[in-house]
Structures are given as C-alpha cells and as structure tokens.
C-alpha cells in the first residue's frame, strides 16, 4: 500500500504545475478529484487481486502435500468390488487396523497391506496399480507382513530364522483372508501344518513314548518359536535362560546344592529325546545303566565310575540315585 500511496502523492504534486489557461479554479479542483479517484480505484483493484491469489497459492500447496493421502480410498471402497473377501477379512484381527489413527491411511484396512487404491479404482481394477501378493516372491510378501509385525518381539528374529533361510514365507503358514484357524490366521491347524515339512518330527510323535502333541495337550509352538529365536532349533527359552522344558517340568529346574553337571551344561537332550522315543521316559537308550555309563565309565572307584560290578547288578542306577536331576542333600543324588 505504501507504494501506491507514494504514487498518488507524486501525481498530485506533479499536477500542481499544470497550467490550463482555459480552466478556472473550479475546473482545476475537479481535475484533481478525478485523478485521485482513478488512482484509488487502481490501488483497490490491485489489492483485491493479491488477496485472491494468496488463497489460491495456499490451496495449491495443500494439494501437493495431501496428494499422497488422497490416493487412499478406504476399506469401504474396496468392499464394493471385493465384498466376499472383505466379509472374511472383517472377522480377522487385521480389521482392527481400520481404527489405527496414529499410523494413518498407510496402516489402515486393506490398503495397509495392498498399498493406496485410488489408481487401482480409477483403472477399473487394474492389478498393476496396486500390490497383489499373488505371484510375488516370498521375500517380497514377507517384507510386507514384517513392515507391521517385524517390530513385535515374537517376529523380531524372523530374518535370521531357519524358516526364512529355508525360503519359507509368512503366507506359507498364514492366510489373512482364508485362514482355517482363527488363532494366528493359520492355513491349517497344528500340528498338521508343521508336519507338512517336519516329517521326522511326525514320526517321533507316533512312537510309544512321546510328548502329547497329537493328543492336543501341547502344541509345537509351545516349545518352538516358528518366527525364529537366538537359540538352536528355534527353541523358546524362559527369561532366566533355562531350558524350555522347565515350563512344564518345574521340579527339575532347581537351583540345587548339588547339580548334575550335564543338565546344566548340555541340557535335557543329553539324556532325553524331546519329541518321542521307543524308550521309557523318552531316554536316548533303552537301559538306564548304559545311559549313565556313557559318562560314568571305569575305573570302578570314586565319582568317575560306578562302585558296583555291573555284570552282577541289574537294577537301574536311578533305583538308588533317585534325584538324578539335582539334589539339595546328597552329592551322589541319593535324596
């Protein structure tokens, strides 16, 4: 406004020197009034133009900033074409993502997995305009799942897991739309799902002495984390670091005053087969004495070996050494 004020003042000052012999004082006053009105109208027009242009520019900036958001159409739009799939998905835990206000549209509903759907809709359902899991590699599909689930403690080691290194992806075990098991969206119930690959474990659980997996008392993921752990065979461990067996066999956990060294150094599998065995108590060998003699060999005196003549005695070592997993009273595990 100061620029136009200076312009008006300049015109008025310069006009004072105009000489018009035919104009009396009244005419000169009229001339100045007309000039002032004209300049004022010009200033008003320019000011209005600036006011109009500013919102237009602001709108342009808002549009560019929100262009990415506008590509998300919402799950209800997906339902118009994929109603059957939507109805199945609506009954799964993934439906809760529609309530995710913090993550925004990129973490909500169908588009949380398949990406923004505006171009897909505008293209009449063009599959190239959206992420379709079918036909993608296991690495690509698993990466999509881990973009949300990778932060969870349960799946944090999946990239280093035996399943990932064996080219097993998330969708080999889970189905977001057509799961046969509601829990964890599994494509098949346990243990049959695991048996599809782990045939040797299936054979072990069919042996006379076995953990009751087939009976439904426990499941594979009670002992193993299929998404990977920092331990061998993806075995779960307690926060204290003890063997996973102690979750059920608490009486064997200790600590004891007199520890049986193999239990603490090699673990339960030094004597037992975890899945199943033809031997009682899931032992690695049929005779208890033969199992003990694998470590407690001759000479026959002292803690290095048995004090009895094994050719004349046929009772199992554990008939006397009853607290073989550890004892608080006896260094030879009598009680």
For the chain, the average pLDDT equals 80
3-class DSSP state of 315: coil
Q: How many CA atoms lie within 13 A of 293 on its CB side?
A: 16
What is the model's pLDDT at position 57? 37
186: which strand partners?
174, 181
Q: Is 21 helix (H, G, I), strand (E, B) or coil?
A: coil
3 state DSSP class of 235: strand
| Predicted local distance difference test score (pLDDT) of residue 191 | 94
The span from the CA of 170 to the CA of 161, in Å, is 12
Compute φ and ψ for 276, nearest 5 degrees. Answer: -175, 155
Q: What percentage of the chain carries pLDDT values higher than 70?
A: 73
Long-range Cβ contact pairs of 193-199 (< 8 A, separation 24 or more): 194/220, 194/226, 197/168
Read off the pLDDT of residues 206-246 as tens digits, 9 standing for 90 and up: 999 999 999 999 999 999 999 988 777 888 887 666 788 99
pLDDT tens, residue by residue, 38-93: 545 554 555 444 433 433 333 333 344 445 567 999 999 999 999 999 999 999 99
Let me know if 11 is exposed, middle or buried by CB neighbors in 10 A (0-12, 13-18, 19+): middle
Comparing 12-16, 73-77, 141-145, the range with the smallest average pLDDT is 12-16
Q: Please tell me the predicted confidence (pLDDT) of residue 151.
A: 79
Percent of residues, the chain, with pLDDT higher than 90:
47
Higher-pLDDT residue of 235, 30: 235
Total-model pTM: 0.70
Which neighbouring-strand residues pair with 326? 259
Question: Residue 61: its pLDDT value, please?
Answer: 34
Q: What is the pLDDT of residue 1?
A: 46
When pLDDT is averaged across residues 135-144 and rounded to a whole number, the result is 93
Tokens of 87: 């109805």
Q: Is residue 35 pLDDT above 60, yes or no?
A: no
3-class DSSP assignment, residue 50: helix
Contact 209, 276 (CB under 8 A): yes
Q: How many helices (H) and strands (E) are present in the chain, helices listed first?
A: 13, 4
Q: How far apart (Å, rounded) are the C-alpha atoms in residues 159 and 252?
A: 34
Alpha helices in the chain (DSSP H): 2-15, 25-65, 75-79, 83-89, 111-114, 118-122, 138-149, 162-165, 192-195, 199-204, 220-223, 261-265, 288-293
pLDDT of residue 159: 86
Which DSSP category does 186 fall into? Answer: B
């Amino acid at each position: 406004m100061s620029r136009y004020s200076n312009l008006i003042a300049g015109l008025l000052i310069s006009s004072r020197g105009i000489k018009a012999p035919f104009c009396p004082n009244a005419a000169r006053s009229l001339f100045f009034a007309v000039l002032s009105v004209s300049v004022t109208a010009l200033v008003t027009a320019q000011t209005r133009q600036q006011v109009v242009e500013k919102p237009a520019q602001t709108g342009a900036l808002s549009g560019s900033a929100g262009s990415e958001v506008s590509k998300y159409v919402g799950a209800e739009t997906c339902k118009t074409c994929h109603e059957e799939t939507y109805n199945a998905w609506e009954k799964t835990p993934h439906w809760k993502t529609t309530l995710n206000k913090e993550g925004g549209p990129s973490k909500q509903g169908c588009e949380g997995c398949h990406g923004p759907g505006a171009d897909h809709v505008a293209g009449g359902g063009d599959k190239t305009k959206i992420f379709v899991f079918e036909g993608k590699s296991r690495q690509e599909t698993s990466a999509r799942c881990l973009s949300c689930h990778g932060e969870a403690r349960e799946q944090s080691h999946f990239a280093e897991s035996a399943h990932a290194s064996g080219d097993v992806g998330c969708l080999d075990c889970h189905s977001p739309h057509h799961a046969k098991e509601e829990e964890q969206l599994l494509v098949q119930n346990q243990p049959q799902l695991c048996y599809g690959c782990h045939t040797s474990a299936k054979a072990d659980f069919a042996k006379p002495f076995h953990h009751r997996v087939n009976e439904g008392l426990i499941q594979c993921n009670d002992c193993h984390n299929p998404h990977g752990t920092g331990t061998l065979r993806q075995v779960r461990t307690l926060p204290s670091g003890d063997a996973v067996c102690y979750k059920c066999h608490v009486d064997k956990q200790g600590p004891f005053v007199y520890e049986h060294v193999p239990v603490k150094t090699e673990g339960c599998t030094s004597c037992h087969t975890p899945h199943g065995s033809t031997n009682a108590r899931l032992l690695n060998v049929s005779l208890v004495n033969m199992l003990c003699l694998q470590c407690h060999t001759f000479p026959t005196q002292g803690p290095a070996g048995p004090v009895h003549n094994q050719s004349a005695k046929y009772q199992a070592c554990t008939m006397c050494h009853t607290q073989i997993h550890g004892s608080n009273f006896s260094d030879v595990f009598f009680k």
